[in-house]
Structure 1
Amino acid sequence: MNVNTSTDLHIKIGQLLLFGWQGETPEAARAVNSHATALVDDLSVGGVILMGRNVGNVHETRAMLASLQERAAARGLPPLFVATDQEGGRVSRFVPPHYTQFPVAKTIGDTADFDNARQVARAIAEELKAVGLNWDFAPVLDVNNNERNPVIGDRSYGDDPELVAKMGVAAVRGFQDDAGLLACGKHFPGHGDTEVDSHLALPTIAIDRASLDKIELVPFRAAIAAGLAGIMTSHILFTELDAELPATLSPAILTGLLRGDLGYQGLIITDCLEMKGVAAKWGSAEASVLALEAGADILLCCHTLETQVAIRDAVIEAVRNGRITEARIEESLARIAAAKQRWISPCPIISKIDLAGHRALAERITAAAAGE
């Protein structure tokens, strides 16, 4: 379908956006406030992300997300992706007492039992779906092969590529096959061998393609073969693949390597475009245009409305002036529509979270990792 009017273009570009919202008070952040309504009403976003600030108890969160979905439907928009980062361990947005604190990935890896990864993923997915989420930005598929890494560390299943691959595949099956929730492997093509946090600056990795094939790409290849629905990019400069642009902005990495060499046909989403890894040099708005040119489908921006508006406006202008073709936009819209049709259901699959069972699972895995 071609873009015929300004309204059409705004809605189409909106579907490429997955944004978060803030509130002036903790209570406001846990409600459909003016920032949240602007995402739907003004930006026509295709999805939202919940940070810890947005999460209340089960009833509050379920009602809030139902209201947002109803708002999108009233405007004639497709159902929203509703995503979060619920990895377990220190990257958990849904926490006790209303939700389960699951062990960090390394603890699961230390058990050497792949079914543990699958059971945890299924349990996480059940808790998320119970309140209206449909996408988890997990599992972490990074191989933790640099002990000085400041951002991955125990978020990885371990330092063995084959172990990470098998654990990652098990988690994908738990999320998607068992619970019907989209999974998202991250951070492509691998954030494990860095000594810089991409939230704060742009890391550089100077390893060749052969080394990537032996280590970083092993878990991603396995997860893709298992049907992984989404992959998140990394704000890292892989100098042997692209000397100028980090992975999120690199056609050589997203289109050439991920789409071409690895044959990936699912959704590609950027890491947050407010992170200094890309924002410091390119700015979030220009980085968004470059990411779409590189092959990304969805632009993630977690925090600031002013930046979110700038991203939307920059992409619209890029389409209007011919820098980004309509055909390029349509490719991503088709992937997004197919994913929503397959994965988003109108109602959560369960009405009550099995906290006792999930806590027992978490405790059992923690004990097994400790050799108890």
Structure 2
Amino acid sequence: MSKRKKSILKPLILSTLSLFIILVVVFYVMDKDREGKQNPTENSQPVVEPSPNTPPELGENNNQKLHDYINDLFSFAKEGKVVGIPFVSGKAKKQEVQNKWGEPDQTTDTESGRYEEYKNRNIVIGYTGEIVSDIRSYDPELQKIRQNDIKKAGGEPDQIRYYKDETQDQIILVYQVTPLTELKWILPKPTDQEPNPKVDHISVFTQVKNQAEQSTPPDQQKTIADLSLDEKIGQLIFAGIAGTTVDSNTKSLLTKYKVGGIIFYKDNLINPSQTVQLLNQVKSENGQKVPLLLGVDQEGGRVTRLPGGLINFPTNKEIGAINNSQFSYQVGTMLGKELKEFGFNLDFAPVLDINSNPNNPVIGDRSYGNNAEIVSKLGIQTFKGIQSQHIIPTIKHFPGHGDTSVDSHLELPIVNKSLQQLKELELIPFEKAINSGADVVMVAHILLPKLDADFPSSMSKNIITGILRQQLDYSGVVITDDMTMGAIIDHYSIGRAAVESVKAGSDIILVGHGYNNAVEAISSLKSAVQKGEITEQRINESVSRILELKKKYEINNEKVNNANIEEVNQSIKKLLDEYSN
């Protein structure tokens, strides 16, 4: 190699070697730096991973954004809105939703109404009729909010409700943002492991007036609004009492549970003066805003409850044989006068069952006969006579107890008739009475498998809502037969029976016997409302009908001085003499 080539290579080799040494030093320093970070000294602060049960520490800006988001949710709810949703609860119509969003992915019909789910929008829309009444948002952003965040922004909720089924155990924080609108925060129920749970979803629910409520006078709407939930549920209970005086249990039913009505049986009523005194005591103990319904079974014939040697009327079977409309009207008038003398205001009569089964152990001569036209004509005249005395008549036992061979006081009767067969016989008197102005219908405890294989008529939505309200267009008060009868109590708890009956469309649950039974019915109804199984709006519908009934008949708590049995008997004797020839 020449000297010239050696002189060129030598500097090149030195430069390359220097560069290599520099790179080695740099990599060594970087490696030591990484090692130092991975192995902190005792003075270094350890990195703590957030616990899954502890919300991550948010930066100042994020924390403020969360607070603002919650405040927006409260503000929007006051207008019936959910952030990011173009519809207003209580105002928007179903057609508007479908025009903008199209058909829902899933539709569910519940006791509360119809719910339509739009999965890609994380939204469920609930309807009352054709009006949006509930907007439920499952936006993932909501799951960044915890229970304490809600209370920090909105304060303590107005109500706390709970919901539990096979898959969920939830707490519902309810904020009454307007008189008609609630903002509900639904979260998993707090536990020791998770005392501050994350939001599952929210609901903006607005009470939408149905057709019945829209026709309710403003003063009655105010009365309903002024009633507490306990007072409303009390109006749905017609309770029996024990003994011949007002004892502690009776006081409790009236003052604590605020029942809307009391039924009296023969063993409550010894003589006229005691009966008047008992009813006056009951009225005195009623400290409610709403007067009581005071009812009794005074049909005439073998079903009479009133004391004092009142002259009894012929059986309905005998009256049916006479077949005189005027006589039936006057019998009804005298029944009304009897009740008025003692201070009652409701009669569980007349019977509109057609006695089509000669082996029927419970109806028999309580019926006007086996002819639908005669039963209709005489039954209607009887209830009109009762009405003439400002006493509320009750037509019974819908949809017809005449073709049973079992006493529902003891067992559950089964009638294997179709709707068409009922229309051809049993329903005729009820339909005609409804068209003639009947205000109260009592529903029987009968299983009709062709109409509802699961529930007896007193708990059947198919029968109460489907047939009575929709097909017969009945808008008055529906009361059950006594829920402590064997037909019900041997198959259901009294609480479950009461809940199912109200869900089916009943307005008043008759609990004829047992203080504890009445309390159980009341507590079960309240629990069903708190859990969302029955809406408070549904309770309001029944309360509205009950208040309208009491207003129509001018029910009040005025006391009666005495019962003039002699005068009533003279009138009855004169009537019977006139038609005995």
TM-score, normalised with respect to structure 2: 0.59
State the alpha-carbon separation in 2 of the partners of residues 152 and 349 from structure 1.
36
Residue 228 of structure 2 is matched in structure 1 by 8
What code does the residue aligned with 1:35 have?
N
- Seen in structure 2, the aligned counterparts of structure 1 residues 265 and 194 have a Cα distance that, compared at 3 Å, is same
What does residue 568 of structure 2 align with?
Answer: 355
The answer to whether structure 1 residue 168 and structure 2 residue 379 are counterparts is yes
Which of 399, 404, 421 does residue 211 from structure 1 map onto? Answer: 421
Match of 1:71 in 2: 285
Larger displacement relative to structure 2 (75-84 or 292-301)? 75-84
Alignment partners' CA distance in 1, 2:549 and 2:181: 22
Q: Taking structure 1 as reference, are residues 100 and 71 closer, same or farther at Cα in structure 2, changes over 3 Å only?
A: same
Larger Cα-atom Rg: 2
Q: Could you tell me whether the CA contact under 8 Å between 2:297 and 2:304 is conserved in 1? A: yes
Change (3 A) 1:2 1:279: farther
The farther-off stretch of 83-92 and 29-38 is 29-38
Paired residue for 2:533?
Answer: 323
1:18 aligns with 2:238: yes
CA distance in 1, matches of 2:407, 2:575: 28
- Map of 2:252 onto structure 1: 38
Indicate the residue corresponding to 1:296 in structure 2. 506
Q: Deviations over 1:110-161 (max 9, x none)?
A: 1011212111111011110111110000000000000000000000000001
How has the CA–CA distance of structure 1 residues 3 and 21 changed in structure 2, closer, same or farther, with 3 Å as cutoff? farther
**Shift of residue 349 of structure 1?**
11
> Could you tell which deviates more after superposition, 286-295 or 112-121?
112-121
Distance 1:362 1:236, change over 3 A: farther
CA distance, structure 2, for counterparts of residue 8 and residue 36 of structure 1: 21
**C-alpha separation in 1, matches of 2:577 and 2:528:** 52
Q: 1:246 to 1:362 in 2, by over 3 A?
A: farther
What CA distance in whole angstroms lies between the structure 1 residues aligned with 2:403 and 2:335? 27
Q: 1:191 aligns with which of 401, 408, 428?
A: 401
1:3/1:9 contact within 8 Å kept: no
Partner residue of 2:270?
Answer: 56
| In 2: Cα distance, 1:284 partner to 1:3 partner | 32
Kindly indicate whether residue 447 of structure 2 is the aligned counterpart of residue 237 of structure 1. Answer: yes
* Corresponding residue number in structure 2 for 1:248: 458
> SS of the counterpart of 1:273?
coil
Output the CA distance in 1 between the equivalents of 2:271 and 2:452.
45
Instruction: Give the letter aligned to residue 12 of structure 1.
Output: K
Amino acid at match of 2:570: G
1:201-250 CA distances to partner (integer Å, 9 max, x unpaired)?
A: 11110111121111101110111111111010110011221111111000
SS, match of residue 187 in structure 1: strand
Matched-pair contact (CA < 8 Å) for 2:272–2:562: no
Number of equivalent positions: 357
One-letter amino acid of the structure 2 residue matched with residue 316 of structure 1: K
Conserved 8 A contact 1:101-1:362: no
Q: Residue 394 of structure 2: SS of its match in structure 1?
A: strand
Match of 1:119? Answer: 330
For residues 274-289 of structure 1, the aligned pairs below 5 Å read 274-289=484-499
Paired residues of 1:134 and 1:344 also in contact (CA < 8 A): no
Q: Which moved more, 1:38-47 or 1:146-155?
A: 38-47
Name the CA shift for 1:323/1:267 in 2 (closer, same or farther; >3 Å): same
- The CA deviation at 1:356 is 3.2
Is 2:314 aligned against 1:103?
Answer: yes
Note the C-alpha offset of 1:345.
Answer: 3.8
Return the offset for 1:60: 2.2
How far did residue 96 of structure 1 move? 4.3
Helix, strand or coil at the partner of 2:490: helix
Give the counterpart of 2:522 among 312, 323, 338. Answer: 312
**Contact residue 202 and residue 235 of structure 1 kept, 8 A:** yes
In structure 1, the residue matched to 2:190 is none
Aligned residues of 1:172 and 1:226 also touching (Cα < 8 A): no
CA distance in 2, matches of 1:350, 1:31: 17
Residue 179 (structure 1) aligned with residue 179 (structure 2):
no
Question: Amino acid of the residue matched to residue 262 of structure 2?
Answer: V
Relative to structure 1, the CA distance from residue 114 to residue 95 in structure 2 (aligned partners, 3 Å threshold; closer, same or farther) is farther
Distance in 1 separating the partners of 2:250 and 2:525: 21
Counterparts of 1:109 and 1:286, CA distance in 2: 39
Amino acid at match of 2:482: C
Which of the numbers 84, 102, 122 marks the counterpart of 2:296? 84
Preserved CA contact (<8 Å) 1:254 1:296: yes
Secondary structure (helix, strand or coil) at the match of 1:203 reads coil
Change (3 A) 1:96 1:107: farther
1:264 alignment partner AA: Y
CA shift for structure 1 position 362 = 6.3
| Match in the other structure for 2:347 | 136
Say if 1:15 and 1:333, in contact at 8 Å, map to a contact too. yes
Quote how far apart the aligned CAs of 1:350 are: 9.5
SS in 2 for 1:292: helix
Q: Given that residues 273 and 562 in structure 2 are in contact (C-alpha distance below 8 angstroms), is that contact kept between their aligned partners in structure 1?
A: no
Q: How far does residue 258 in structure 1 lie from its aligned partner after superposition?
A: 0.3
Per-residue deviation, 1:59: 2.6
> Is the Cα–Cα contact under 8 Å of residues 356 and 402 in structure 2 kept in the other structure?
yes
Q: 2:314 aligns to what SS in structure 1?
A: coil
CA RMSD of aligned residues (A): 2.1
Distance 1:102 1:350 in 2: 22
Higher RCO structure (Cα 8 Å, ≥6 apart): 1
The answer to whether the 8 Å contact 1:126/1:350 transfers is no
